[in-house]
Amino acid sequence: MTTDVIVVGAGPAGAATAIFLAEHGLSVRLVDRARFPRPKICGEYLSPEAPRLLDRLGALKAVDAVASPLSGMRITAPDGTTLVATYRPIGAWRPYREHAMALPREALDAILVDRVRSLPVDFSEQVRVTDVIVSGDRVLGVEAVDGARRRLTLRAPLTIAADGRASVVAQRLGLRRPHRLQRMALVTYVEDIAGLGRFGEIFVDPPDYAILNPVAPGRANLSVVVPVAHAAPWSGRLDAFFDARVKQLRHLARRVAGGRRVAEIRAMGPLAYRVDTPRTGGLLLVGDAAGFFDPFTGEGIFNGLRSAELAAETAVQALRRGDVSAQTLAGYERARRLVFADKERVTRVLQVVIAHRPLANLAARLLARRQHLLDLLLGVLGDFVPPRALVRGILTR
């Protein structure tokens, strides 16, 4: 059977891409270097708009069975100012659901992979892509090695890279670029934290911030984001480094006092990086393979699912026309910019604010006096309010 599309990577973005394409009747070959389920460093948060995509993917019912609903966010500034906002309709803007969700990443991955297996997708685990096949101005497929160390040559008119932060496809084509924002995340699980409920909790204390995300009854994902440069003196002592940063985040330290860490600490970073738009035909990049910007509240999964939806739309149109040139596929990049660029500008400003104590305190005091503005901000971060509405709210007294 002829393969229409090779999808590299079976995380949320890759699995979603394969599902969307298969439902359009395309022949899909999906490969991943891992065997599922597998552990993955993640903030484990799904914004209120993510269920719309999960519903389209036929995975929402299964996710609902294991996810913890989050009514909103509680943000604590360096000076102790606390902001509370919920995911609720704001004027004409309504979230798909009036809550976000938190769930273990392994559970989400397993649900999406099970959905892939229910479709006519040629899915292979433990297949590691080693190189990209390029001829002239066109990507023709990938070279890979399977679990038995056999070399594979996989060819298709279109290759979609969804192989994450360490994308072999992006690296082999020289597309990845460093970002000036050099932060890393330290992630673990904690239990026995008093008062865990239906709110995600964010603690800002420059240069660090942390997110406490309840993923199951009595259990939370704790992610601490710190400058990469601060980790160097602690090389080989990740536990001690983590404990020191938690202690430095005073309000977080008080919040988790009496709790216990129940998993190893895993590190990931630098969080932010850029990926250039491919100049070759026959190739699209989705999810983290297309670049990542530290989003503050951790909605990378939504971005991955949404980019998969956009990529599938472009792929279906291109393959039906028999034209997978770079010019034709450029429509995907335009769509991505239209969907994500304004929000990235908002999160860029947020990153400046939370990096400076006086600014963070000033912003918190302003938002504490203007609840509508805080609600708009949470709506933007929750993917259901357009960023322009936040700008108008700031300019309107």
* Distance separating alpha carbons of residues 8 and 164, to the nearest angstrom: 9
CA 213 to chain centre: 15
Number of domain units in the chain: 2
Q: Is residue 393 in a domain? A: no
Is the same domain home to 36 and 119? yes
Is the same domain home to 188 and 257? yes
Q: Is residue 109 in a domain? A: yes
Q: Can you give the CATH number for the domain in which 58 is found?
A: 3.50.50.60
Q: Is residue 396 in a domain? A: no
Is the same domain home to 262 and 280? no
The first and second tokens of residue 303, run together, are 């971005």
Is the same domain home to 46 and 123? yes
Q: Is residue 356 in a domain? A: no
At 298 the pLDDT is 64
Q: Is residue 95 in a domain? A: no
Is the same domain home to 137 and 202? no
In the numeric block, the tokens 């904690």 are attached to: 190
Q: What is the pLDDT of residues 300-330, one digit of tens each?
A: 899 999 999 999 999 999 999 999 999 999 9
At 196 the pLDDT is 92
Is the same domain home to 62 and 156? yes
Domain boundary among 345, 372, 391: 345
Q: Is residue 98 in a domain? A: no
For residue 360, which of 113, 78, 45 has the smallest C-alpha distance?
78
At 267 the pLDDT is 93
Is the same domain home to 205 and 231? yes
Q: How many CB atoms lie within 10 A of CB 296?
A: 20
Domain boundary among 345, 373, 389: 345
* Distance separating alpha carbons of residues 332 and 224, to the nearest angstrom: 33
Q: How many CB atoms lie within 10 A of CB 118?
A: 11
Q: What is the pLDDT of residues 264-303, one digit of tens each?
A: 999 998 888 999 999 999 999 999 999 987 667 667 899 9
Starting at the edge strand that comes first in sequence, how are the strands of the sheet with 138-145 ordered? 128-135, 138-145, 151-155
Is the same domain home to 136 and 209? no
For residue 53, what are the domain limits? 5-67+103-178+273-345
Is the same domain home to 263 and 338? no
Report in angstroms the alpha-carbon separations of 347 from 32, 50, 84, 343: 31, 18, 19, 6
Q: Is residue 146 in a domain? A: yes
Report in angstroms the alpha-carbon separations of 246 from 212, 239, 253, 363: 12, 11, 6, 23
Is the same domain home to 159 and 40? yes
Could you report how far apart the first and last alpha carbons of the chain are, in Å? 62
At 294 the pLDDT is 66
* Phi, psi angles (nearest 5°) of residue 285: -120, 135
Q: Can you give the CATH number for the domain in which 235 is found?
A: 3.30.9.100
CB contact burial 45-62 (16+ within 10 A = b; e otherwise):
bbbbbbbbbbeebebbeb
Domain boundary among 268, 284, 301: 268
Print pLDDT tens along the chain (397 aa): 579 999 999 999 999 999 999 999 999 999 999 999 888 889 999 999 999 999 999 999 999 999 999 999 999 999 999 999 999 999 999 999 999 999 999 999 999 999 999 999 999 999 999 999 999 999 999 999 999 999 999 999 999 999 999 999 999 999 999 888 889 999 999 999 999 989 999 999 999 999 999 998 899 999 999 999 998 888 789 999 999 999 999 999 999 999 999 999 999 988 889 999 999 999 999 999 999 876 676 678 999 999 999 999 999 999 999 999 999 999 999 999 999 999 999 998 999 999 999 999 999 999 999 999 999 999 999 999 999 999 888 877 6
CA 195 to chain centre: 27
Is the same domain home to 197 and 327? no
Is the same domain home to 243 and 277? no
Q: Is residue 107 in a domain? A: yes
Contact 184, 228 (CB under 8 A): yes
With a pLDDT cut of 70, the percent of the chain lying above it is 98
